[in-house]
Amino acid sequence: MGKPTGFLEFKRKEAKGRAIKKRILDYQEFHTLQPQEAYSQQAARCMDCGVAFCHAGAWVDGTSIGCPLHNLIPETNDLVYRGKLETAYLRLRKTHPFPEFTGRVCPALCEGSCTLGEHELPVTIKEIEHLLDEYAAEHGLIQPRQVAWRSGRKVAVVGSGPAGLACADRLNQLGESVTIFERADRPGGLLMYGIPNMKLDKSIVARRVEILHAEGIDFELGAEVGRAVPLQRLLDEFDAIVLCGGATVPRMLNVPGADLAGVSGAVSYLTNATRSLIDETYQGDKDLDAAGKDVIIVGGGDTGNDCVATAIRQGAKSITQFEIVAKPVEQRAADNPWPLWPRVFKTDYGQLEAISVFGSDPREFETSIVEITGKAGHVSGIKSMRYKNFQPIAGTEQKRPAGLILIAMGFLGPEKTLIEGLNLQTDARSNIATAPGRYATSLKSVFAAGDMRRGQSLVVWALMEGRQCAEEVHAYLGK
């Protein structure tokens, strides 16, 4: 512990981010960093607890305690406090394959379990991680690593999202030869198309993919396994297969009018927006452009917030975000003690932008759509109702105009193509079934990791699963 009294001397101070009035005019990242010397003080706040929970990586009562990657957070903070940023970055990389991603998009489970956060604001762990990535990039520390030994075995990884990339990265370093099959035109999965550019610049994803390729990982793009690429090819050519296709079946509204043009799953909308931004040849779906439209977003969470921010940049006329749940409490409730993830009210970057642009928070809690109306096959309005404990309240119907409706209600599970093609067993939630804490499926030599196995989750959990799955695959192949 570098400064025993640091947590008493310094208050939490975060980077302000780019000014809202300027950042909504483009799709550049809104994150900023403080001067490097400021992070010495922020890292000095780390208490080096006797029993630290920031890196616990536990799952208790349906919620997280600390970082699933078990990052060596107190050690890293101590090095940052001492100004040893290169060593701090290398310490972080011992457990973390891609800090450039989580330093930008992770909700910071580590901070939710920071001991200082029990009675003060927690340490700025996520921002320090972002600092270390930027420092590493500036000083040439993000370079391809040489793989000293090759086993001669081949592994196919299906899907290039965070779980697939993390699994392939670890397998490659262990000496296995890896080919990633990705059905999209660019690698990255959710990182490329599910998260908007202002939150995670796509050049950051491309940089990591280039490094992985330089380290020996092959990528086949536009290669949807089970359709464009026969499953039998993978079974014949590879010693093991890892399925990391994600949970991509969206939960949609089951109300009259839900099939009208202009009603879309949130990820389809975000994908269309990102492709339109980075691909000059892509024409885009005009039905999914928010320009001049009254936009209704159903659902909260990170994806709903990303939709708010994207619709603002596209020039939406108005934005309303429905959440059927009650507004969260401002402070931890008695049944949500530290070090569990705090279920409290927060206003994220997209909502802050909406408040600045439209003058009010776009969220309406305990509200949802009961009917969608349209003209000439396209959505034109909705009927909403208030809810209490997920039950509609009679007499609260309200008609509103709508030109675009985005459904951000989560996902039902993975698509069935690979599951049925390989005749894999599934669990009660339609995810690929594996033994508890294991990644082997019901079919020999086939493994699964990430959302395809655990259900919809966070990037950091996908990274953890990808790495752990790689270790299991490597052990299997070495028998």
Does 113 reside within a domain? yes
CATH number at residue 361: 3.50.50.60
Give the domain-ending residue among 138, 165, 193.
Answer: 138
Question: Is 124 found in the same domain as 99?
Answer: yes
SS3 at position 81: helix
pLDDT over 90 (residue 433): yes
Question: Is 447 found in the same domain as 429?
Answer: yes
Question: Is 287 found in the same domain as 214?
Answer: no
Query: Which run of H or of E encompasses 91?
Result: helix 85-93
Q: Pairing state of beta strands 367-375 and 318-323?
A: unpaired
Per-residue pLDDT band at 390 (split at 50, 70, 90): very high
Question: Is 405 found in the same domain as 256?
Answer: yes
Q: What is residue 187's predicted lDDT score, i.e. its pLDDT?
A: 98
Signed CA dihedral, 327, 332, 337, 338: sign only: positive
Cα–Cα dist 280/254, whole Å: 35
Cα–Cα dist 424/335, whole Å: 38
Question: Is 416 found in the same domain as 396?
Answer: no
Range of the domain at 391: 252-409
Q: What is the mean pLDDT of residues 377-385?
A: 98
Question: Is 217 found in the same domain as 288?
Answer: no
Question: Is 437 found in the same domain as 326?
Answer: no
pLDDT over 90 (residue 3): no
Does 143 reside within a domain? no
Does 145 reside within a domain? no
Give the domain-ending residue among 138, 169, 202.
Answer: 138
Question: Is 368 found in the same domain as 341?
Answer: yes
Q: Residue 469: what are its φ and ψ, rounded to 5°?
A: -60, -40
Give the domain-ending residue among 354, 377, 409.
Answer: 409
SS3 at position 341: coil
What would the DSSP string read from start to end of 146-175? P-----S-EEEEE--SHHHHHHHHHHHHTT
Q: What is the mean pLDDT of residues 320-325?
A: 98
Question: Is 256 found in the same domain as 243?
Answer: no
Does 364 reside within a domain? yes
The percentage of the chain sitting over the pLDDT mark of 70, rounded to a whole number, equals: 100
Per-residue pLDDT band at 469 (split at 50, 70, 90): very high
Does 1 reside within a domain? no
Per-residue pLDDT band at 1 (split at 50, 70, 90): low
Q: What is residue 48's predicted lDDT score, i.e. its pLDDT?
A: 79
Distances in whole angstroms, Cα of residue 126 to Cα of each of 73, 91, 158, 213? 10, 15, 29, 27
Question: Is 405 found in the same domain as 258?
Answer: yes
Does 466 reside within a domain? yes
Question: Is 405 found in the same domain as 282?
Answer: yes
**For the chain, what is the domain count?**
3
CATH number at residue 22: 1.10.1060.10
pLDDT over 80 (residue 40): yes
Cα–Cα dist 302/450, whole Å: 18
Tens-digit pLDDT profile for residues 243-285: 999 999 999 999 999 999 999 999 999 999 999 999 999 999 9
The mean pLDDT of the chain is: 96
Does 291 reside within a domain? yes
pLDDT over 70 (residue 161): yes
Question: Is 83 found in the same domain as 127?
Answer: yes
**Residue 229 forms beta bridges with which residues?**
225
Do 306 and 290 form a contact (C-beta atoms < 8 A)?
A: no
